[in-house]
Amino acid sequence: MVTVSYNSAAVLGGLLRSVGDADCVVVDNGGAQPLDAIVAESGARLVRLERNEGFGRGCNAGAALAQGKNLFFVNPDAQLAPGCISALERAADSLPGFVAANPLIVDAQGRAHFRTGSILLSGSGGRGEAPAEPVGLPVLSGCALFVRRAAFEAVGGFDPAIFLYHEDHDLALRLAALGKLWHVPEAVVRHVAGTAAPRTADVAWLKGYHMARSRHYVLRKHGRPLPLLRTVLPALSGLILPHNLWSARRRSRVLGQVSGAFSSVGDHGEYSAP
């Protein structure tokens, strides 16, 4: 298992305790919080990056040291239910054309989050009820992404040009060219979204900025129509929503999105992670 931490010490221990005796690599993505004691207690291995390289590059750094024929990327604010990894390994060995999968992802209240839509796909896919049996998926969430190492390496891993957001769907579409993406409900991961990094106005601005930059980049990369318009309009629409104006953190996120959207105009979306 590989997890990327950016000042995620408050939640990281819960994930590591849920992993059991599986091989685990923790990537400290330039954070300021010491992770040595938390990681040592679990028996995991720690990789330190000098600065925040973004989610995809962090995952690639962890994958380079991980062992085994499969890789499991899990957010630090998630926890694995008992038997999760074993269920995914069985699925990889038994499901036809298996390349990669998501487990059943539930929130803190146990509600399933099942999503099949993406800005990179045509059609009306979106959120829905999670199937009780394994089914094929058009895209995968990076919150808990299980993949055959050979396939991950064959497509070059996560795109290092993407700092944050949409890197999971970009990877999933490239993996889908090699085989089938699956939903495996027998494996369960509990995800408390939004608790992996500090919830400050500065972090919100950074997330908003890279959300817009990544959006334009992946839309262009995958040949989707009107990439600039589909980046600028959502950013501007956020400025007129009252709930965004009343919250300093939400306001910072929207302003970051606007800044990211318009910064992509000058370079035509040729985004590269800092």
Residue 243 structure tokens: 């709930």
H or E element that contains 244: helix 242-246
Q: Tell me which DSSP letter residue 60 carries.
A: H
Digit-coded pLDDT (tens) for 42-98 = 999 999 999 999 999 999 999 999 999 999 999 999 999 999 999 999 999 999 999
Q: How far from each other are the two terminal CA atoms of the chain, in whole angstroms? A: 26
Residue 60 structure tokens: 């690639």
* Lowest-confidence region among 27-36, 122-131, 182-191, 264-273: 264-273
Q: pLDDT class for 240, splitting at 50, 70, 90?
A: confident
Q: Kindly list the structural domains of the chain, giving each domain's residue range(s) and its CATH number in brackets, ordered by start.
A: 2-191 (3.90.550.10), 201-266 (no CATH)
User: How many CB atoms within 10 Å of residue 152?
Assistant: 24
Q: Tell me which DSSP letter residue 165 carries.
A: S
Q: pLDDT class for 211, splitting at 50, 70, 90?
A: very high
134-to-98, 101, 118, 124, 168 alpha-carbon distances in Å: 11, 10, 20, 21, 20
Q: pLDDT class for 127, splitting at 50, 70, 90?
A: confident
How far does CA 152 lie from the centroid of its chain?
Answer: 15
Amino acid at 46: L
